[in-house]
Amino acid sequence: MSEIVIPELAESITEGTIAEWLVKEGDSVDEDTPILELETDKVNLEINAEAKGVITEILKPAGTDVVVGDVIGKIGDQETAADSKKAVHEEAQEVEGQTMKNEKQQVAEEPLQQKEKSTEDCHEPKEDEGETSTISEKTHSYIRATPAARKKARELGIDLTDIKSRLQLAPLTKANLEKLHELSQEKETEKAPVEEKQEAASSQHEERVRMSRRRMTIAKRLVDVQRESAMLTTFNEIDLTEVMKLRKERKETFIEQHDVKLGFMSFFTRAVVAALKKFPRLNAEIEGNELILKKYYDIGIAVSAEEGLVVPVLRNADRLDFAGIEKEIKRLSQKSQQNTLAFEDLQGGTFTITNGGVFGSLLSTPILNAPQVGILGMHSIQKRPVAMPDDTIEIRPMMYVALSYDHRIVDGKEAVQFLVMIKQLLEDPYRLLLES
Distance of CA 352 to the CA centre of its chain: 24
Among 69-83, 166-180, 380-394, the range with the most confident prediction by mean pLDDT is 380-394
Model confidence at 174: pLDDT above 80 = no
Question: Amino acid identity, residue 250?
Answer: R
Which range (95-109, 125-139, 306-320) has the least confidence?
125-139
Q: What is the mean pLDDT of the chain?
A: 80
Residue 421 has a pLDDT of 97
- Which residue, 245, 286, 287, is CA-closest to 262? 245
pLDDT tens, position by position, 105-134: 655 555 555 555 555 554 554 444 444 334
Model confidence at 192: pLDDT above 80 = no
CA–CA distance, 276 with 406 (Å, rounded to integer) = 15
Phi, psi of 172 (to 5 degrees): -80, 120
Active site residues: 407, 411
Task: Give ∠ CA 246-249-254 in degrees, rounded to 5.
Answer: 95
Model confidence at 256: pLDDT above 70 = yes
Q: How confident is the model at residue 418 (pLDDT cuts 50, 70, 90)?
A: very high
Q: How confident is the model at residue 278 (pLDDT cuts 50, 70, 90)?
A: very high
pLDDT tens, position by position, 345-390: 888 899 999 999 989 999 999 999 989 999 999 999 999 999 999 9
CA–CA distance, 300 with 305 (Å, rounded to integer) = 15
Task: Note if the pTM is more than 0.75.
Answer: no
